[in-house]
Structure 1
Amino acid sequence: MQILFLNSLAKKKWGGGEKWMIMAASGLERRGHGIVVGCADKSVISKKAQALNLTTVPVSFKTDFDVPGFIRLLFALKKYHFDIIICGQNKDTKIASIAVRLVGGAKVIARHGLQLIRKKFKYHFFFTRMIDGIITNSASIKKEYESYGWFHPGFVKVIYNGFTAPAGVASFDFRTQFDLPGDALVMFSAGRLASQKGFEVLIDAAEEGHKKGYNWYFFIAGKGKLRDELENRVKSKGLQSRVRFLGFVEDVLPYVKGADIFVLPSFYEGMPNAVMEAMGLGKCCVVTAVNGSVELIEDGLDGILVEPRSSTALFNGLERVSRDRQVRESMGEAAAAKIRSSFSEEEMIDNFESYLIDKLEKTDSIN
């Protein structure tokens, strides 16, 4: 198959959807498929793709009506004769669906790692008449989309993210690097510093833990618009020594492995890569019970699920596992076993490849 992965994310941005895209593209290329990544020139995406020797083309769109980008896409379609285009953003989906009607007949698949459409007229035409399918990483998103009554059975397909823990991940030594006391319990979290991620709730839970005498230390990796606001919240509570922001971290796995507990207080997610990676490394996870997290974790067995948007619930979840190291280790071992058996990278590639082959072998009717 000749496959174009198209993603118009801004040059300096990088997230879970882009991480999945590069993983999927690389995995399919290893299996002999022709892969091209369309993205902004000199973007983080292009650099990540090129580091894996994937072919890239400078095709991306600033708006839904980006004429120069549209023309570049037409040239790419003529040059590579793609069978399938995988679109990461809604504008990619809209523009690609028009382009294939002018040049070639590639199937257009929208990939939604988060809920990107709602039951509104502006989405109905393109997503029911112009594309060939939607893949998502969460059964909850599939259920939401199917509730619209727009799509025929099988049009929305769940393909879970995948993760295989690399060998030899070294643990980051938080205690030495930050001069922590020997009995410190290290909590690590990672994600964009945006309202979706719920870090203000984490800060409030940290305050509650501090008031009750727990020796908890929180470290947050990531960058975003809310950093100043979040740091001010920490200062206002006198928690500067207990909650620290690490900024962008290129490779978070050593930090995950070096922590005692991984925390994700998100208000909503698709299938959170960060949680999957922490579980794959055998880490006890305390996360909010949203979307894909509920599909990953069985509460009390391989992690802890807590009510979203509640600092009290998050504090209670952290307290639940902070008291007993054996409980944390048992949950971590169960989590790692689950990822190996049900959410490996190769299983994800298997499912994705089978889906694409099936799409090419039959013509889907769209309502």
Structure 2
Amino acid sequence: MIKLAFFNSSVSWGGGEKWHMESALHFAALPNYDVFVFGAPDSELKKRLAHYPQITYIDFAVSNRSFLNPIKVNRLKSIFNTLSFDILIINGSADFKIAAYAGHLSGTKRIIYRRGSAIPIKNSAVNRYLFKNCISDVLANSLETKRTINMRFAAMFPLEKIKVIYNPIDTTPFQDKCVGKTKNDHLVIGNLARLAPQKNQAFLIDLSRALSHRKIRHKILVGGTGPLAHELEKYNKQMKTEHDVSFLGFISDLDGFFNQIDVFMLSSKWEGFGYVLAEAALYRKPSIAFDVSSNKELIEHDHTGYLVPYGDINQTIDSILSLSEQEKRDEFGNAGYQLVLKRFDQKVIYKQLEEFLK
């Protein structure tokens, strides 16, 4: 029996927590794994895992400075010693600092840092020590994430020990789904993301203004909530684009959202893994995104969508116009759907993950 532990102390829910929960459930269903999850006592992850008694959840709250607390480090080391894990998978920088060190002190054979963000790792003495002495492998969710690990310090971690395995996507519900065809007399562009600086939705307002100046009829639908909601609404009015740009708030009905758009536009400054691009492809919608970070791993330029230089409104408009015909949108949308099945389907991904953990 292989004892496998996941360590994720985030209180809120996000992509990393989704990955840890779904991976824990997958391995708990296999006959040769005993699965544990460490997390915050009041986390969303704990609430969701409460329905799955086959997974042992262990409360352990972590802050950014927990690794400096010898009592806390020794308590975690003691738990690790008692349970004798074969594999420990860690999420997030705060978890990384305390759990990797405690795991190393307890003699855990394999300590894996699962990295899901394409942000360069700081070249700090603590990070250099942990990567050199405590981590056995790094698991990255994209080639772009892998590239950023050694960006600030070339010798941070051996490249051959960084494995790229994409986020798994359950494509089954989409395989028999009837995807709606729009019957608009104008192009409807969709965006689905948190309203935050990284997601750069102000670009969509600027894009709408430029489209209107060129007399191109359009609507832009933006789904999501976040800290910039008020600021973006204000900017939308200031630019006099509120007739063409609508902020819809949280979207619970993804079918309804994707079935009313023609093209998906991701305006993000960067993405560790642009999951929403894969979602758009599953709905057979062509996508346009900036040629930054991992977007090229989800969009094949001029085949499933378009990659344009960051912030280039003119090239974005050219890409939108090239998708004005339904036939072209169908061609790109179907190609994107096949790409997701081949590259990101959970059956493919979990097989890779099982091989990696052997």
Same fold (TM over 0.5): yes
Q: 1:21 to 1:308 in 2, by over 3 A?
A: farther
Q: Is the 8 A contact 1:187 1:217 kept in 2?
A: yes
Gaps of 5+ in 1: 176-180, 358-367
Q: Which residue of 1 aligns with 2:89?
A: 86
**TM-score normalised by the chain length of structure 1:** 0.84
Distance 2:277 2:198 in 1: 15
Q: Are residue 28 (structure 1) and residue 27 (structure 2) matched? A: yes
CA contact (8 A) 2:120 2:150 kept: no
* Greater RCO, 1 or 2 (C-alpha within 8 Å, sep 6+): 1
The answer to whether the 8 A contact 1:136-1:142 is kept is yes
RMSD: 2.8
Selected match of 1:287 from 282, 286, 289: 289
Local SS of the residue matching 1:100: helix
Once the two structures are superposed, the pairs formed by residues 266-281 of structure 1 within 5 Å of their partners are: 266-281=268-283
Other structure's SS at 1:154 match: helix
Shift of 1:327: 0.6
Q: SS in structure 1 opposite 2:294? A: helix
**Equivalent residues of 1:137, 1:159 under 8 A apart:** yes
2:188 to 186, 189, 195: 186
Contact kept in structure 2, 1:113 and 1:271, CA below 8 Å: yes
Verify: 1:155 aligned to 2:161, yes or no. yes
> Does the CA-based 8 Å contact 1:61-1:69 persist in structure 2?
no
1:331 CA displacement: 0.4
Distance 2:124 2:193 in 1: 32
Change (3 A) 1:217 1:261: same
1:138: which partner in 2?
142
Residue 257 of structure 1 and its aligned partner are, at CA, apart by 4.2
Q: CA deviation at 1:293?
A: 1.2
- CA positional deviation for 1:335: 0.6
* Alignment partner, residue 264 of structure 1: 266
Q: Counterpart in 2 of 1:18?
A: 17
The one of 182, 197, 200 equivalent to 2:199 is 197
Superposed, 1:210-289 pairs within 5 Å as: 210-250=212-252, 252=254, 254-289=256-291
Measured against aligned partners, the alpha-carbon deviations of 1:36-91 in whole angstroms (never above 9, x if no partner) come to 23222332333343456654332231223265865664465356432222111011
TM-score by structure 2 length? Answer: 0.86
Q: Bigger CA drift: 92-101 or 116-125?
A: 116-125
Q: What CA distance in whole angstroms lies between the structure 2 residues aligned with 1:17 and 1:97?
A: 17
Distance 1:355 1:85 in 2: 13
Stretches of structure 2 that go unaligned for 5 or more consecutive residues are none
Cα deviation 1:172-227 (Å, max 9, x = unaligned):
9999xxxxx94243322222222111211122112222333333222222222211
Question: Residue in 2 aligned with 1:96?
Answer: 99
CA displacement at 1:95 relative to structure 2: 0.4
Corresponding residue for 1:354?
Answer: 355
Provide the residue aligned with 1:329 in structure 2: 330
